[in-house]
Amino acid sequence: MSLEAQPLVRPLDQLRIVLCQTSHPGNIGAAARAMKTMGIHQLYLVKPEAFPHEHATAMATGAADLLQTAIVCDSLEQALNGCALAIGLSARKRQLSHELLPAREAAQRACSIAAQGQQVALVFGTEMSGLSNDELDHCQLLAMIPTNPAFSSLNLAAAVQVLCYELRMSAGLSTVTPAVANPLATSDELEGFYTHLEQTLIKIGFFDPNDPKKLRQRIRRIYARAQLEKEEVNILRGILKLTQNPRPPEGL
Amino acid sequence: MSLEAQPLVRPLDQLRIVLCQTSHPGNIGAAARAMKTMGIHQLYLVKPEAFPHEHATAMATGAADLLQTAIVCDSLEQALNGCALAIGLSARKRQLSHELLPAREAAQRACSIAAQGQQVALVFGTEMSGLSNDELDHCQLLAMIPTNPAFSSLNLAAAVQVLCYELRMSAGLSTVTPAVANPLATSDELEGFYTHLEQTLIKIGFFDPNDPKKLRQRIRRIYARAQLEKEEVNILRGILKLTQNPRPPEGL
């Protein structure tokens, strides 16, 4: 099969977030917002206590479209229909032996399967007690967010945010849009600046003939670390010029 | 020095979360909860619109102790007192050049400095518009959470959750190899340098009363990017002193 013939699989489009028996509709809205910020769109709600609800809409802000397309289910089984992998989020140690992965590794596992075009579900339990043992039986894997052992209680939407963030990072979309960069000074422009700086420091009496070379190096390294832009070199040389020949304040 | 004699530095104890001019007290509470789940305890509030407040307490749930010990400040400068590094969280592209890192790399940088026993601040702006340019001027580095370009608006507490999660993940790694480094200048030492610099630039005629503020910002950012060490600040202030009162060359 040629490369052109292959359909483009976007891993994040294969992921679904499943919220089981959520008590507070505000958390559903906040979870939708968290999902959308990370580019994940499929929301499944298993027996939500109140949905649709004005609190859900209010907390979703610009992610209300995810609430519109959310699929409300009567059972977790129904929400997982078609999924190749269901990962349950767990806040506590479980007796029964599911494979347990930190969130980062779980997200990598999810994305590697999603990248093959198969659906993967991330399953979250209730605010009070997490996933029931019955619900866990429908998952193949458990994920855990590393937390402070003395206080491990993440808000539901906060847990969704961390998982969705890790999913986005794993999907290869971890780059940030770089700020519009100004052109950096070239090596010869920098050398011109260093020479100018050294002349100035001699003139004001900072460097004397017995000056240890080390001080020169230290000063160069400050500016080297700053990675000066062309325009910044011009600003700094403007300062050096005036250091050598100060301009008297106006009106004097 | 023997290994036993070294005090144990716990990087998370050196980190402070600074929330600037937060509008909704509920977000302060939710941020406190997010912090505590990740084992980060120092909360600084710069001019919060309403604090203490019942909504903050309600949203903090089991993290109300962080609200009790939160330090309310009149200025960002005050909140950063004693910090060797201030990292501003940014959601938008900025024109002027701060170094910009994805959250994960920024957290690693923060923890590597915290592991040396120096304080590091993570600075968050308002819900509506993030950090102002004035606030950014107090930061040496910008962090950005990779997001869906079509909807990048994380809730404030959700952003705090992701950053604190990355800090906790990094803290586990950075305890292994503390790098030996020279101590960085603290935020108040930097402010002292900037004030000295500004006085000097006025004296030599570089700044005039009609000076656009932008030039000041650009100069600050050069030194912010360099992440000055304590000793380097002393060297640069030595230069400023001689710029104001040059020492005539010997023998003249």
Q: Each residue of B139-183: pLDDT tens digit?
A: 989 999 999 999 999 999 999 999 999 999 999 754 434 445 688
Domain final residue, candidates B146, B174, B202: B174
For residues A141 and A193, state if they share a domain: no
Q: Round to whole Å and give the CA distance between B26 and B50.
A: 10
For residues B170 and B239, state if they share a domain: no
Q: How far B2 CA lies from chain A's nearest CA (Å)? A: 30
Q: B-contacting residues of A 64-103, CB under 8 Å?
A: none
Task: Identify from B131, B147, B235 which residue to disrupt to test chain A contact, counting A C-beta atoms within 10 A and taking the largest count.
Answer: B147
- Phi and psi dihedrals of A219, rounded to 5? -70, -45
Q: Which amino acid is at A235?
A: I
Pick from B139, B151, B39, B21: which is nearest to B83 by CA?
A: B139
What confidence tens digit (pLDDT) does each residue in B82-92 have? 999 999 998 76
Residue B66 confidence (pLDDT) = 98
For residues B151 and B192, state if they share a domain: no
Residue with tokens 């400023």: B240
**Domain membership flag for residue A175:** no
What confidence tens digit (pLDDT) does each residue in B90-130 have? 876 665 667 889 999 999 999 999 998 899 999 999 999 99
Plot region of A158 (φ>0 → left; ψ -120 to 50 → alpha; else → beta):
alpha
For residues A127 and A228, state if they share a domain: no
- Phi and psi dihedrals of A106, rounded to 5? -65, -40
Q: Give a three-class secondary structure readout of B10-31.
A: CHHHHEEEEEECCCCHHHHHHH
What confidence tens digit (pLDDT) does each residue in B4-20 have? 455 577 899 999 999 99
Sign of the torsion angle spanned by Cα atoms B69, B73, B79, B82: negative
Residue B227 confidence (pLDDT) = 86
Task: Say whether the peptide bond before residue B52 is cis (omega within 30 degrees of 0).
Answer: yes
CB neighbours of residue B151 within 10 Å: 18
**Domain membership flag for residue A1:** no
Residue B68 CB partners (closer than 8 Å, separation 6+):
none
C-alpha separations of A222 from A64, A96, A178, A246, B227 in Å: 49, 57, 24, 24, 8
For residues B102 and B214, state if they share a domain: no
Residue B182 confidence (pLDDT) = 83
DSSP secondary structure letter of residue B82: T
Q: How far B240 CA lies from chain A's nearest CA (Å)? A: 10
Pick from A81, A12, A11, A93: which is nearest to A46 by CA?
A: A81
- Expressed in angstroms, the distance from the first to the final Cα of chain A is 82
- Domain of residue B90, CATH code: 3.40.1280.10
Residue A176 confidence (pLDDT) = 53
Given a cut of 80, whether residue B212 has pLDDT beyond it is: no
| Residues facing A119 on adjacent strands | A83
Q: How far A150 CA lies from chain B's nearest CA (Å)? A: 8
**Domain membership flag for residue A211:** yes
Alpha helices in chain A (DSSP H): 25-37, 54-60, 64-68, 76-79, 103-114, 133-136, 156-170, 187-203, 213-226, 230-244
Residue A5 confidence (pLDDT) = 52
ipTM score = 0.82
Q: Give A94's Cβ-side CA count (13 Å radius).
A: 23
For residues A160 and A203, state if they share a domain: no
- pLDDT averaged over every residue in chain B: 88
- The minimal CB distance from A148 to the residues B36, B162, B204 is found for B36
Q: Round to whole Å and give the CA distance between A243 and A237.
A: 10
The answer to whether the CB atoms of B226 and A228 lie below 8 A apart is no
**Domain membership flag for residue B1:** no
**Domain membership flag for residue A158:** yes
For residues A98 and A220, state if they share a domain: no
Chain A / chain B CB contacts < 8 angstroms: 176
For chain A, what is the domain count? 2
Q: Round to whole Å and give the CA distance between A49 and B6.
A: 54
For residues B163 and B236, state if they share a domain: no
- Domain of residue B208, CATH code: 1.10.8.590
For residues B137 and B204, state if they share a domain: no
Domain final residue, candidates B132, B149, B174: B174
Q: What percent of chain B has pLDDT over 70?
A: 88
Domain of residue A205 covers 187-244
Q: Round to whole Å and give the CA distance between B195 and A238.
A: 19
For residues B156 and B203, state if they share a domain: no
Sign of the torsion angle spanned by Cα atoms A90, A93, A97, A102: positive
Sign of the torsion angle spanned by Cα atoms B203, B206, B210, B211: negative
Which residues does chain A have within 8 Å of residue B243's beta carbon, measured at their own beta carbons? 204, 243
Instruction: Confirm or reject contact between A238 and chain B (CB < 8 A).
Output: yes
**Cβ(B97)–Cβ(A178) below 8 Å:** no
Which tokens belong to B236?
Answer: 């640069």
Instruction: Confirm or reject contact between A8 and chain B (CB < 8 A).
Output: no
Which residues does chain A have within 8 Å of residue B162's beta carbon, measured at their own beta carbons? 161-162, 165
Residue B2 confidence (pLDDT) = 46
Q: How far B55 CA lies from chain A's nearest CA (Å)? A: 15
Instruction: Confirm or reject contact between B217 and chain A (CB < 8 A).
Output: no
| Burial group, residue A241, by CB count within 10 angstroms (0-12, 13-18, 19+) | middle
- Chain A residue closest to B101 (CA)? A176
For residues B40 and B158, state if they share a domain: yes
The three-class DSSP label of residue B231 is: helix
Residue A9 confidence (pLDDT) = 77
Domain final residue, candidates B174, B197, B223: B174
- The minimal CB distance from B38 to the residues A39, A147, A225 is found for A147
C-alpha separations of A135 from A21, A27, A45 in Å: 11, 20, 13
Residue A4 confidence (pLDDT) = 52
**Domain membership flag for residue A85:** yes
For residues A165 and A201, state if they share a domain: no
**Higher per-residue pLDDT: A15 or B202:** A15
Residue B234 confidence (pLDDT) = 94
Residue A24 confidence (pLDDT) = 97
Q: Round to whole Å and give the CA distance between A69 and A46.
A: 14
**Domain membership flag for residue A60:** yes
Q: Give a three-class secondary structure readout of B35-58.
A: HHHCCCCEEEEECCCCCCCHHHHH
Instruction: Confirm or reject contact between A163 and chain B (CB < 8 A).
Output: no
Q: Round to whole Å and give the CA distance between B167 and B109.
A: 9
| Burial group, residue A197, by CB count within 10 angstroms (0-12, 13-18, 19+) | buried
Instruction: Confirm or reject contact between B34 and chain A (CB < 8 A).
Output: yes
Residue A172 confidence (pLDDT) = 82
Weakly modelled stretches of chain A, pLDDT under 50 = 1-3, 178, 251-252
Which residues does chain A have within 8 Å of residue B63's beta carbon, measured at their own beta carbons? 151
- Chain B residue closest to A91 (CA)? B37
Q: Round to whole Å and give the CA distance between A17 and A63.
A: 14
Q: How far A65 CA lies from chain B's nearest CA (Å)? A: 12
**Domain membership flag for residue B2:** no
